[in-house]
Structures are given as structure tokens and as C-alpha cells.
Chain A
């Protein structure tokens, strides 16, 4: 039932009727994803927006092969998947540059080439000159930028980001969001971005998928046809945000009602 393929156009992610169940210790099966279908076109920026703990991260884990789905099809246009987690997940005993090149070490590259790649991607995330620092010498925002550089260094076909800015203070998060838009435009990566922050989703994405909780399913799909760079405080963004918030609350109400009904 569960199929994977990588024959679609490079960079695109397509999920068709993907369902994921976990077995509980008491023998029952817990369904976390139900019939999730969506498409993220090549070079697009798609956000998955949903309440905390609704199973949005599971979608990313399935795409990154960290977990297997129960049924449905997942196709990713390429094997190389970059992942940025909620926490930086850096190896604190390695320098910043050695962290960035960690996923490349299995490949047959000279140390000079590795160093050049580290330099290139650190430059891209605005951390040029920090190669020889250790992660604990950097602020949380800088650490997360190192994590982004690490994900980009493998030249991924798709970049998966799991609430990457939710652990940062708002000012730092805002700066990083602006940087992410720039990086996305410069590199042309397909980005799938999980968040529970409505204004973040509106600011960054071309496509927003609203996900309901337990089991997660796509409740609504929405396009954001506004030009980049987008600015905080833009009225059009604010309007969209208000509308999305209304949808979100409507969804919560609906799910509560349906749970009561059963």
C-alpha cells in the first residue's frame, strides 16, 4: 500500500492519500495522519500550518524517510533532503564549519573542497567568518543559521523545516524569516515549512496548507499571491492573517463538534 517514488519532476513533493497509524502498547491503532494529499511544486515555498501536536512534523518525517507511512503514495523529486529541526541539533564539540560539512563527509571530497563549501553556505546564511567557532559560543539564532547552512550544504532537492524559528525570540525570528526568504530566492529550493504561527506562514509562503488535529488531515489549502520581499505590517498580509485565523478557529470548532458527535 505504502509507495514511494522519485520519478516526478525534480524538486516537487507530492503526497497522495497518505495515512499513518501507530500501534499502541494496548494493541489499538492510533491514526495520526488521514488521507493527506497535497503537492508542493518545484521551487515553491509551502507551509503546513496546524495546532501544536497535530502531527504536522510526522509529515516531514515521512518525507525524510525517518518513518514509514501506512498507506498512500509519497513522491519526492530527488533523494537529497535537507532537514532543519526546531532545535539546531548541532554537534557542540565540532566547529561551526565541521558541523556544516558533517553530512558531506561520507562523500569523496577533499578537505579543501569541504572547507570551501562550509565557507560558501555560512556566507549565504550571514555567518561568514564564524567557521572556527564552536556552537556554544553562538547565540540561538546564529546556531539555527548554522543548521540551515548544514541543510543547504548537501544541495538538497527539497528543504524540510520543522518549526525552525519557534524556539527563538521574536526579534531574532523576524530577522531569520527575512533571511530565509532571501536564501530561498537565491537558491531556488523547494521548501516545505511546518509552523503553528499564522503570521509566519503568511509572511513566508506561496501556499499554505491548514491541517486539522487528530488525525491530521488537510483542512484547507490557500495560495498567497503577494510579491516578495514581504514586509511586516503590510495590510494585505494582515488581512490574510485575519482570514486564516478565522478559518483556524472555525476548524477547531468543527473538530470539537465532530468529536462530540461520535
Chain B
């Protein structure tokens, strides 16, 4: 039942594309055929894999940095009142500064290299994660913690079995959100300062006024993101949150 609306949504996107391509000339909105042709060429030449790999590597490492910084700062803010007062304004500044500023500053400070790209991604995306973790800690059910204490659970057991599982949904949700931000910042950095990656390709083909290639690269990345969402995030989330569903679990601890 859930597949039908999804199929319908993708089909309607394709129809909208076809209509737009029919109205506008191919230099503005190219149709699916030239776009898929361009994508095919990129894949056959190996270009697609090389640049996609570069971008995914930067996004992946940037995401790791984002999550480490975000979870650390969010945890400090959630646990310590002084920490909250101290870091609150930092996070607000971090959220307000446009992502492109991080990109420019990092490229100027660290040079046109991988480290600059990863640092730019990490610093731009982590405030959103911090806020989510901070809220998660504030929303934690402390009565469960006192239950653990009443039953003489050790400190590590309380953290591992009672606190962490309550934070996990927040970590997962913020990670998903952060992935989207990381990808956007990554393309910006690649566009202004890198000689590889999807952002670089977009800039290159923009210079040549090839709308079909711009569309092809965007579409390729979209497909990869969809794959990550449906092959990694959704199944993991479903597994971790199956206790919320009304269906009895499979046989216990076989």
C-alpha cells in the first residue's frame, strides 16, 4: 500500500519534467533523453565514478566530523547548565552564518585541499546536530534513570542500557538531516575551490552552458542519495524503532 503513493510521486515528477522540457528549449530545460544520454556517457567514461567517489568521500568524512562535534557539543549542553549557557551563543552563531562563508574561510585558511573541504562541511553542519542532541537529552525520561539506580545498575549500564537508547532516535534523525546539509556544503566547496567532485563538474558544465550535463550530474547524485536513504537509513531506523509498532516481535532471542 505504501509503494503506490511513492511510485505516483516519482511518476508525477517525471511528467512535470516532460512538460517543462516540452515548453522550454533544451538549453534551459533538457528532456530526460539527452540527460540520461549524458549520464550514460559519464558512466561509460568512468568520470561519473571518479567524481562521485570524491564527493561521497568528502561528504562521508564531513558527516563523521559533524556527528562527532554535534554529539559532543549537544551532550555538554544537555548535561551541564554552565555548558549550555557557554555554548548556546556559539551554536546560534554557527547556525546563522551562511554555509558559503565556512567554505570560503576554510579554503582561504587551509588551502584548496581535502582537509579544508571536510572542515568546512563539519563546522557548517554540526550546530543543527547539537541542537537535536541537546533537545534529546532534555526530553530524556529521568524516571527511567532512577529506576536503574533503584535496581543497582552500574553507571556504565545506566548509560548504555537506559540513556543511550533514548538518545539513539535523535542521533539517527539528526544524522539524516546532517547528510543533506553536508552534501549541499560539499558541492559549494567543490564549486568554488576543488578540481574534482560533483560540484566541480556542475561548475565546469555550467561554464560550457551544457544544461543536459548539469541535470545529469544532479540526477546522478540524487539517485545515490535515494539509495543511501532506502538501503541504509530506512532499514536501520525500522530495525531500531520496531518496538514502536503494534506488531508483536519475532520470536524472542532465538
Selecting from A131-139, A174-182, A238-246, A254-262, the interface stretch reads A131-139
Number of A residues with CB within 8 Å of any CB on chain B: 29
Number of B residues with CB within 8 Å of any CB on chain A: 25
Structural contact, A137 and B153, CB atoms closer than 8 A: no
Say yes or no for B143: interface residue by CB 8 A criterion: yes
Residues of chain B lying within 8 A (CB to CB) of residue A91: 144, 161-162, 165
Chain B 135-149 per-residue mask, 1 if CB under 8 angstroms from chain A, else 0: 000000001101101
By beta carbon, the residue of chain A nearest B152 is: A103
Structural contact, A102 and B151, CB atoms closer than 8 A: yes
Say yes or no for A105: interface residue by CB 8 A criterion: yes
Say yes or no for B248: interface residue by CB 8 A criterion: yes
By beta carbon, the residue of chain A nearest B154 is: A106
Tell me the chain A residues, 120-164 only, with Cβ under 8 Å from chain B. 131-137, 150, 154
Tell me the chain A residues, 2-57 only, with Cβ under 8 Å from chain B. none
Docked Cα-Cα span, A87 to B147, in Å, equals 10
Looking at the complex, which one of A87, A132, A154 makes contact with B251 (CB distance below 8 Å)?
A132
* B166 smallest CB distance to A (angstroms): 8
Docked Cα-Cα span, A56 to B160, in Å, equals 32
Structural contact, A83 and B144, CB atoms closer than 8 A: no
Say yes or no for B97: interface residue by CB 8 A criterion: no
Say yes or no for A220: interface residue by CB 8 A criterion: no
Looking at the complex, which one of B150, B162, B246 makes contact with A83 (CB distance below 8 Å)?
B150
By beta carbon, the residue of chain B nearest A135 is: B243
Docked Cα-Cα span, A97 to B248, in Å, equals 13
Docked Cα-Cα span, A124 to B82, in Å, equals 48
Looking at the complex, which one of A81, A87, A106, A135 makes contact with B153 (CB distance below 8 Å)?
A106
Chain B 106-137 per-residue mask, 1 if CB under 8 angstroms from chain A, else 0: 00000000000000000000000000000000
* Of listed B151, B154, B253, residue having the most chain A CB within 10 A: B151
Docked Cα-Cα span, A135 to B147, in Å, equals 16
Say yes or no for B250: interface residue by CB 8 A criterion: yes
Say yes or no for A95: interface residue by CB 8 A criterion: yes
- Assess A111 versus B157: contact at CB under 8 Å? Given A103-B152, A136-B243: no
Docked Cα-Cα span, A150 to B243, in Å, equals 19
- By secondary structure, the B interface counts as helix
Tell me the chain A residues, 54-84 only, with Cβ under 8 Å from chain B. 64, 66, 81, 83
Residues of chain A lying within 8 A (CB to CB) of residue B150: 64, 66, 81, 83, 85
Say yes or no for A92: interface residue by CB 8 A criterion: yes
Looking at the complex, which one of B146, B154, B243, B252 makes contact with A131 (CB distance below 8 Å)?
B252
By beta carbon, the residue of chain A nearest B157 is: A106
Chain A 189-215 per-residue mask, 1 if CB under 8 angstroms from chain B, else 0: 000000000000000000000000000
Say yes or no for A115: interface residue by CB 8 A criterion: yes
- Assess A133 versus B143: contact at CB under 8 Å? Given A92-B243, A102-B161, A103-B153: no
Looking at the complex, which one of B152, B153, B165, B251 makes contact with A93 (CB distance below 8 Å)?
B165
Residues of chain A lying within 8 A (CB to CB) of residue B161: 91, 102, 105
Structural contact, B149 and A66, CB atoms closer than 8 A: yes
Structural contact, B153 and A134, CB atoms closer than 8 A: no
By beta carbon, the residue of chain A nearest B244 is: A136
Residues of chain A lying within 8 A (CB to CB) of residue B246: 137
Docked Cα-Cα span, A136 to B244, in Å, equals 7
Structural contact, A134 and B151, CB atoms closer than 8 A: no
Residues of chain A lying within 8 A (CB to CB) of residue B85: none
Docked Cα-Cα span, A91 to B144, in Å, equals 8
Say yes or no for B249: interface residue by CB 8 A criterion: yes
Say yes or no for A230: interface residue by CB 8 A criterion: no
Structural contact, A111 and B243, CB atoms closer than 8 A: no
Say yes or no for A221: interface residue by CB 8 A criterion: no
* B161 smallest CB distance to A (angstroms): 7
Say yes or no for A89: interface residue by CB 8 A criterion: yes
* B139 smallest CB distance to A (angstroms): 14
* B55 smallest CB distance to A (angstroms): 35
Residues of chain B lying within 8 A (CB to CB) of residue A132: 248-252
- Assess A154 versus B143: contact at CB under 8 Å? Given A93-B243, A95-B249: no
Docked Cα-Cα span, A132 to B247, in Å, equals 11
* B251 smallest CB distance to A (angstroms): 6
Q: Closest 5 interchain pairs by CB? A: A132-B252, A103-B151, A134-B243, A83-B150, A89-B147
Given A92-B243, A105-B161: 14 more A-B contacts, CB < 8 Å:
A66-B150, A81-B150, A83-B147, A83-B151, A85-B143, A85-B147, A89-B144, A91-B162, A92-B244, A93-B243, A103-B152, A103-B153, A132-B249, A132-B251
CB-defined A-B contacts under 8 Å, sample of 7: A83-B150, A85-B143, A91-B162, A92-B243, A95-B249, A98-B253, A137-B248
